[in-house]
Amino acid sequence: MTNGGAGEKLVLLGRVVGVHGVRGELKLESYTEPRMQIFRYQPWRMRSAGNETTIQGCRGRVQGKGIVAEIPGVGDRDAAMALIGTEIWVARSALPKLKPGEFYWSDLEGLEVVTLDGVPLGRVSHLIATGANDVMIVRDGERERLLPYLPGRYVETVDLEAGRITVDWDPEF
């Protein structure tokens, strides 16, 4: 997560991983669930190597195991090739409002993680989906821990204001 113009929070939703055909279509990796939701949240802020472009009107379709996007202004394979590796960001305000107690992964990244006894375990680096449950990757500089993100079982509280997640976890594990 990073800030955009005027202090606006941005959320990373995907990236360009290749090209499709000769008309400038792009293969995308989408971090949304389901993956086609990426097209619901626009405008996109396309970022690569210090460059940023805001684009509205992106469309896409499922193609095999991936998704293919048509982006206004990208009309040939060469233009599409130049975008490989570009990240797709959107304003946090473009995402749906969540119910109380629900969080986007980007809201949790960077939060301090402490045990019920106040023992610091590190900060949330990122989360991964395992199928059974989401897992927080918590790093403290020396060590990396994988903690199940299971509210009510291991995750006791998430306090965005304080920047802290309290977990029921053995610090030696």
Mean pLDDT of 110-133: 94
Predicted confidence at residue 151, as pLDDT, reads 94
Can you name the CATH fold of 2-94? Elongation Factor Tu (Ef-tu); domain 3 (2.40.30)
Question: What CATH number belongs to 105-167?
Answer: 2.30.30.240
Predicted confidence at residue 50, as pLDDT, reads 82
- Residue 122: count other Cβ atoms within 10 Å of its Cβ: 19
Residue range(s) occupied by CATH 2.40.30.60 in the chain: 2-94
pLDDT tens per residue across span 3-55: 445 567 899 999 999 999 999 999 999 988 899 999 999 999 999 988 999 99
pLDDT tens per residue across span 134-172: 999 999 988 999 999 999 999 999 999 999 999 999 999
* DSSP per-residue codes, 106-158: HHHTT-EEEETT--EEEEEEEEEE-SSSEEEEEE-SS-EEEEEE-BTTTEEEE
pLDDT tens per residue across span 49-80: 889 999 999 999 999 889 999 999 999 999 99
Residue range(s) occupied by CATH 2.30.30.240 in the chain: 105-167
Predicted confidence at residue 65, as pLDDT, reads 86
